[in-house]
Structure 1
């Protein structure tokens, strides 16, 4: 691998890649659902796919399944890529390098928050609503807004990645290189080490996390609780 291409942890590439594939597939099929049954703002004359709602729902469900692991990894192993305690101050420094970095951190955080709104509102929607012309339902409206935010933040994420790290940063996410310490046969050993450290210093580590970025911990709680709610909703609102 060229020195100009940074190395990304294997877990990041796997979770980032899988969740990205499902999210993009859900975005594309979601637009086709909108294009077929809604189109209040504009429509594109694409051929209609009769089962497009089920196809979109399948990709959205896969995205929901991957979301917990991706969120936990993002809030802990990659928390430096999310908003920091001084992010709002840095966002006022428009045009400076730190502004670009902070903008990307904000976009990354908003993707996780909007994902929660998308999966919850999506689980509350009924398949028969759109074919029946019910396009003003609050859950459908929230669903549209959430996915629009995800699309916008995803665009910012990609553009800022190129701005901050160049094409080399994007290429690093597709690299097949795996360092010895990052290989799958080391995962259990690293997990045991992490779990042992967590048990030994739980109170100290918990206080450190809260002191370092309380707002991020609140967002993490909202995202994880929201994901659990999305999984449980069909049990209470199946009909």
Structure 2
């Protein structure tokens, strides 16, 4: 009997797919950049030296940074059940090997991936594009960015392994189909956005400290990191 492929919301597939594609390209060009300008911990000899690769890596990093806020917004709202829940640590320590343990671990890995990507994007924005061409390899944020991409590779591998363990091949394949249900039609997105905006009470944003207290602390930390990355980068360019 052919296994049933679970349904994934269209918006999730689009945001996840675009973020994932740009992220993988950023990781590949990140290694090529390291291979070209650094190589202190080993190199790949068949990979050619290509000085322009740093700019290409920065472009894919920028694309990821532009798409990521939409993914974060989705993840902490419609997709919040896919992230670590308040009792996650208890389940991980007391229900080892049970199905709920694997589901909890999968959600924990999903959350770890968001954190790792946030730090990778933030540390990338803290770097100066002149450092590597000038041979300046001892900057704190350069080391931080290297570590962040290493963690990101591990997080992606765990993310794929956990999804394969929890949902198997049908779950993985469900992220690569273009079919969608009527309620997921892009034609309805405009109405959904309008309804969401109309539900915002007058004065909601003026009372933003209270608004922040109602959101998960991790979500607030990610938003602060992304906003700070843009602002600090802008101040650096203006300075």
Band the TM-score falls in, shorter-chain normalisation:
0.7 to 0.9
Report the equivalent of 2:26. 26
Residue equivalent to 1:143: 145
- Which residue of 2 is the match for residue 10 of structure 1? 10
Q: Aligned pair in 2 of structure 1 residues 126, 210: CA closer, same or farther (>3 Å)?
A: closer
Contact 1:110 1:150 in 2 (8 A): no
Aligned residue for 2:219? Answer: 220
Structure 1 pair 47/108, CA: closer, same or farther in 2 (3 Å)?
same
CA contact (8 A) 2:116 2:155 kept: no
The corresponding residue for 2:91 is 90
* Contact 2:36–2:51, Cα closer than 8 Å, also in 1: no
* Aligned mates of 2:221, 2:9 — CA distance in 1: 26
Q: What does residue 44 of structure 2 align with? A: 44
Query: Separation in 2 of the partners of 1:61 and 1:94?
Result: 39
Does the 8 A contact of 1:114 with 1:149 survive in 2?
Answer: yes
Aligned counterparts of 1:194 and 1:123: Cα–Cα separation in 2: 31
Question: Cα deviations across residues 56-103 of structure 1 (Å, max 9, x unaligned)?
Answer: 000000000001111110111111111100111112133222222222
- After TM superposition, give the deviation of residue 155 of structure 1 in Å: 0.6
Once residues 92 and 169 of structure 2 are traced to their aligned partners in structure 1, the CA distance between those partners, rounded to angstroms, is 24
Partner SS state of residue 173, structure 1: helix
Q: Name the structure 1 match of 2:232.
A: 233
Matches within 5 A, 1:107-122: 107-122=109-124
1:159-174 to 2 correspondences below 5 Å? 159-174=161-176
Q: 1:157 aligns with which of 144, 159, 163?
A: 159
Task: Give SS of 1:76's match.
Answer: coil
Deviation at 1:127, TM superposition (A): 1.9
What value does the CA root-mean-square deviation take over the aligned residues? Answer: 2.2
Q: Deviations over 1:7-53 (max 9, x none)?
A: 11110011000000000000000011111122222211111222000
Q: 2 CA distance for matches of 1:91 and 1:31?
A: 34
Tell me how far apart the structure 1 counterparts of residues 151 and 51 of structure 2 sit (CA, whole Å): 27
Cα shift at 1:198:
5.3
Contact 1:162 1:169 in 2 (8 A): yes
| Runs of at least 5 residues in structure 1 that lack an aligned partner in the other structure | none
